[in-house]
């Protein structure tokens, strides 16, 4: 009964703190709400007319939605790079940022599930993904495994921070015996969610562009580069606009994680390029289309070469110690690295897998305004959820939110 009373008090205090703030905070929340409403309007058009209003066709059946889904799974998995050193290795330098990282993972996972709903055409078919009701096809379907691991990881990233914040709200220390086992499990689970997503592509024998043994490890390398890079940018914003203190050494340690992951990602990219172009076969046509164009079709050329240029530039900047330790330069490098990997794991991975088609036909894909509107709406939803979670967590950690007995 007492816990219910404390929980009720926490909810009331949280609602109070997230509805109050500076003018900039209210403008930010209003902007996100506006973008969400635009996204909902675009989605209503899609619900009425179906996926025909998107740029997807029977030739290219995965587009902007699945591209963002794939990328955001990596962002969610990246929280493990803060969870492991904090909860498992007891590195206090990461402790300041771990709750922010887990909040980012929750927002990313909710966006992942939203993009899946958008790609399925509508929520009316979601019952197929419920065990015992729909055609779940367990354990044969890799998509089934993806549903399980994503929801399991979402559960872990909600319950562990909630327990810690619930204890701190009452002025008590969280018991390590309660949350550490879950934290250790989340480390393995984070690796699992991205590997299973990679296996979704690797297991499609008719798509040789994805039949690559490096796909799973490269998914992890790019995730552990883009995810922590985003965390650094978020921490920079939190440092600038809130009273929550993030020390420079915390950001610099996360930057080291980004640097190593970015370097590994570049090495794997070179390995893939060598495999595709040193001794090309007809299975290399998708890669040729992506990097050089095919039969005059060059829609993805500016995207992928921009991504590679930004990727290399960011990795070079991060590699040099003096540049990396300059926070303004670090933020710039993290920003362009995040954009580069978003392009690379989005359009650069999903679309070329469908081109050329089974009979050699090249049907290029271009997202429509409806798709872009829905995508922006989902990203705004994720940003809104993260803002609410972060504001509540910061309030508790700074002592503004306390349980009044």
Q: How far is the C-alpha of 171 from the C-alpha of 167, rounded, in Å?
A: 7
pLDDT at 67 over 90: yes
Domain boundaries, the chain: 22-398
Report pLDDT for 173.
86
DSSP class per residue in 74-91: HHHHTTHHHHIIIIIS--
Report pLDDT for 192.
86
pLDDT at 357 over 80: no
pLDDT above 70 coverage of the chain, percent:
98
Report pLDDT for 53.
92
Mean pLDDT of 153-165: 89
Dihedral over alpha carbons 9, 171, 107, 251 (to 10 degrees): 150
Cβ-based neighbour number of residue 374 at 10 Å = 29
Cβ-based neighbour number of residue 292 at 10 Å = 12
Cβ-based neighbour number of residue 24 at 10 Å = 9
Cβ-based neighbour number of residue 207 at 10 Å = 15
pLDDT in tens, 289-344: 999 988 888 888 999 999 999 999 999 999 998 999 999 999 999 999 999 999 99
- Is the separation of the CB atoms in 314 and 236 below 8 Å? no
Report pLDDT for 54.
92
| pTM metric for this prediction | 0.93
Q: How far is the C-alpha of 395 from the C-alpha of 405, rounded, in Å?
A: 18
pLDDT at 283 over 90: no
Nearest to 61 by CA among 398, 365, 383: 365
> How open is the CA angle 164-168-174, to the nearest 5 degrees?
45
Q: What is the mean pLDDT of the chain?
A: 88
Mean pLDDT of 201-213: 84
Report pLDDT for 263.
96
Report pLDDT for 294.
86
pLDDT in tens, 100-155: 888 999 999 999 989 988 988 777 777 777 777 777 777 777 778 888 888 888 89
Most confident residue range from 191-200, 208-217, 252-261: 252-261
DSSP class per residue in 377-399: HHHHHHHHHHHHHHHHHHHHHTT
Instruction: Print the SS3 string covering 155-208.
Output: HHHHHHHHHHHHHHHCCCCCCHHHHHHHHHHHHHHHHHHHHHHHHHHHCCCCCC
pLDDT at 373 over 80: yes
Report pLDDT for 298.
87
Q: If DSSP codes are grouped into helix, strand and coil, which group holds residue 326? A: coil
pLDDT above 90 coverage of the chain, percent:
38
Report pLDDT for 96.
75
* 89: Cα within 13 Å, side-chain hemisphere: 13
Q: How far is the C-alpha of 360 from the C-alpha of 289, rounded, in Å?
A: 12
Report pLDDT for 141.
77
Q: How far is the C-alpha of 128 from the C-alpha of 133, rounded, in Å?
A: 7
Report pLDDT for 331.
96
pLDDT in tens, 220-248: 899 999 999 999 999 999 988 888 888 88
CATH number of 22-398: 1.20.1630.10
């Amino acid at each position: 009964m007492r816990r219910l009373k404390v929980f009720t008090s926490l909810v009331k205090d949280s609602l109070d703190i997230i509805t109050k703030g500076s003018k900039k905070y209210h403008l930010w929340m209003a902007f996100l709400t506006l973008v969400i409403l635009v996204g909902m309007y675009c989605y209503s058009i899609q619900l009425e007319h179906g996926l025909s209003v998107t740029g997807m066709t029977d030739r290219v059946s995965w587009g902007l939605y699945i591209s963002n889904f794939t990328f955001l799974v990596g962002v969610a998995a990246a929280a493990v790079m803060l969870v492991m050193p904090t909860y498992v290795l007891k590195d206090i330098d990461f402790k300041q940022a771990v709750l922010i990282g887990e909040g980012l993972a929750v927002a990313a996972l909710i966006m992942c599930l939203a993009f899946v709903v958008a790609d399925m055409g509508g929520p009316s078919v979601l019952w197929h993904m419920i065990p015992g009701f729909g055609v779940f096809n367990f354990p044969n379907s890799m998509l089934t495994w993806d549903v399980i691991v994503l929801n399991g990881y979402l559960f872990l990233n909600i319950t562990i921070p909630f327990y810690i914040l619930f204890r701190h709200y009452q002025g008590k220390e969280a018991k390590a015996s309660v949350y550490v086992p879950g934290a250790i499990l989340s480390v393995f689970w984070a690796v699992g969610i991205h590997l299973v997503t990679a296996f979704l592509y690797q297991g499609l024998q008719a798509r040789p562009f994805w039949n690559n043994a490096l796909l799973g490890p490269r998914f992890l390398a790019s995730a552990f580069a883009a995810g922590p890079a985003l965390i650094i940018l978020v921490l920079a914003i939190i440092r600038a606009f809130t009273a929550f203190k993030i020390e420079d050494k915390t950001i610099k340690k996360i930057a080291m994680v980004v640097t190593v992951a970015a370097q590994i990602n570049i090495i794997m990219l070179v390995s893939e390029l060598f495999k595709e172009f040193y001794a090309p076969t007809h299975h290399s046509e998708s890669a040729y289309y992506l990097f050089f164009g095919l039969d005059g079709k060059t829609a993805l050329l500016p995207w992928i070469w921009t991504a590679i240029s930004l990727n290399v530039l960011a990795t070079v900047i991060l590699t040099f110690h003096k540049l990396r330790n300059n926070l303004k330069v670090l933020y710039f490098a993290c920003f362009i690295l995040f954009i580069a990997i978003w392009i690379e794991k989005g359009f650069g991975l999903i679309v070329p897998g469908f081109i050329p088609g089974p009979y050699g036909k090249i049907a290029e894909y271009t997202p429509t305004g409806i798709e872009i509107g829905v995508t922006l709406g989902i990203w705004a939803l994720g940003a809104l959820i993260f803002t609410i979670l972060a504001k509540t967590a910061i309030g508790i950690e700074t002592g503004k939110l306390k349980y009044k007995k």
